Amino acid sequence: MKIMKFGGTSVGNPDRMKALIPLINDDERKIVVLSAMAGTTNSLVEIANLLCADNINEASDNINNLRSKYHQVVEELFSNEIIRKSGHELIDSHFEYIRNFTLRVFTKVQEKAILAQGELISTSLFHLLLQERNIKAILLPALSFMRIDKDGEPDSFYIEENIERELKNYPSEKIIITQGFICRNAYGEIDNLKRGGSDFTASLIGAALNAKEIQIWTDINGFHNNDPRFVENTKVIRELSFDEAAELAYFGAKILHPSSVNPARERNIPVRLKNTMEPEDIGTLITSSSVLQDYKAVAAKDGISVLRIRSDRMLMAYGFLRKVFEIFEAYRTPIDMITTSEVAVSITLDNPEFIKQIAKDLKELGTVEVEENQTIICIVGDFRTEKTGSAPEIFEALNTIPLKMISYGGSPNSLSLLIDTSNKKEALRLLSKHLFD
């Protein structure tokens, strides 16, 4: 069994969908995980926001526009009249469902139900396409096995038990299609694995079924050594370890959802990143082994805030950091990066939801400064503690950029820095020039 996940651009238009058929149509049993067509989730988020703001007219216009786009997709996707008719009916039923939300009070729970329509539509259309080509496949609803617990974490036990039970009904099917991203929560409501979550779905399914390989098919030839959206001439890395990939994904490499490496790593299942537009390219292979290299890749994570706590009470005291951490725990807010001196501690977080309350509580311990619009730059390479002379190139490269925090020694394979987001592009460019060119 292998898992093949195709992202938004890989199902982004009728031709792209058709191009997937030769990639999946062989004798191997596989789960095909699909994202929504590129742009759809963003459009659905916009519709949900308009409904939240009670802007019903604009929401209805957006719903109609998206619906027309999908009717056009159906026209181009199918050639058989009967199948095409089913395609149009399918689109109508999903958009009737969305339109119903314009008629009543709108809540956050319903927002999740609206967002789910993107993956529900793409998988149904693809299933119909295979039907038109007489290719046997089944559509397995992710909502029947993918679940998060009350903390928003995947319920691995539930997922494993339920997907296995569902698959027993189809012992010999070769192609099993399911939705990425969407799931149910602990209360049985429709929920999701956060933006970009289809990668996470693929990894969770791969782990649950002990798959041979998890393939993430996207629009680029694998993991690049820097973010190609901001830096020119980035290069593909052919091999990465789980640890390296996990750090890069967590610290902003958009090619993988931040949590998507963990389930694969726990079960030691190789993850392969491939390009749907260039399927013959070998892509990137992520496994437990890796070739060490001084510098392998750089990633950046925006939306970071830093809290600086200064207190003379910290001097020679014990238990001070525990008090600090307890405040973050009380607000269920994870910490990304931390640096300490004898009288001060700086902490970054990527979820600013409770930042005001956290800062207020921290003021009981000392003076507190908050700074927003920060970016963490993560450099992955060989940073083992016994090694000498690896970091100078980084500081030389960035000697024109103010470095707000430096985290070294926390992980043998990464070094992280905090900078102003306004300096991000330049920092990434300088790092590529000095470390990789």
14 alpha-carbon distance from chain centroid: 24
How far apart are CB 36 and ligand ASP at their closest, in Å? 4
Length of the chain in terms of residues written:
437
Residue (35 or 423) nearer to ligand ASP, CB:
35
Site mask, ligand ADP, residues 179-198, x = CB under 6 A?
Answer: -----------------x--
- Determine which residue in the list 95, 106, 145, 223 makes contact with ligand ADP, applying CB under 6 A: 223
Distance CA 171, CA 161 (A): 16
By the rule CB under 6 A, 174 interacts with ligand ADP: no
End-to-end CA distance of the chain: 40
Residue 252 binds to Mg ion (criterion: CB under 5 A): no
206 binding ligand ASP? (CB under 6 A): no
Site string for Mg ion, 175-204 (x = CB under 5 A): ---------------------x--------
Query: Residues 2, 7, 192, 347: which binds ligand ADP (CB under 6 A)?
Result: 7
Strands (E), 117-226: 138-139, 175-179, 182-184, 190-192, 213-218
| Binders of ligand ASP in range 176-205 (CB under 6 A) | 180-181, 195-198
Residue 376 identity (one-letter amino acid)? I
Q: Which of 4, 8, 51, 114 binds ligand ASP (CB under 6 A)?
A: 8
Contacting residue, 12, 14, 87, 118, with ligand ASP by CB under 6 A: 118
Own/partner long-range contacts of 359-362 (Cβ < 8 Å, ≥24 apart): 359/307, 361/327, 361/330, 362/307, 362/309, 362/324, 362/327
Q: Are 378 and 251 in contact (CB under 8 A)?
A: yes
Q: Is residue 154 a contact residue for Mg ion (CB under 5 A)?
A: no
- Hey, what's the torsion of the CAs at 245, 247, 250, 252, to 10 degrees? -80
User: How far is residue 110's CA from residue 190's CA, in Å, rounded to a whole number?
Assistant: 8
Sign of CA dihedral 108, 109, 114, 118: positive
Dihedrals phi, psi of 322, to nearest 5 degrees: -60, -45
> Residue 7, interface with ligand ASP (CB under 6 A)?
yes
Smaller CB distance to ligand ASP: residue 197 or 366? Answer: 197
218 binds ligand ASP (CB under 6 A): no
Q: Give residues in contact with ligand ADP (CB under 6 A).
A: 7-10, 35, 196, 218-220, 223-224, 227-229, 253-255
Q: Give residues in contact with Mg ion (CB under 5 A).
A: 7, 196
Q: Give residues in contact with ligand ASP (CB under 6 A).
A: 7-8, 35-36, 41, 118, 180-181, 195-198
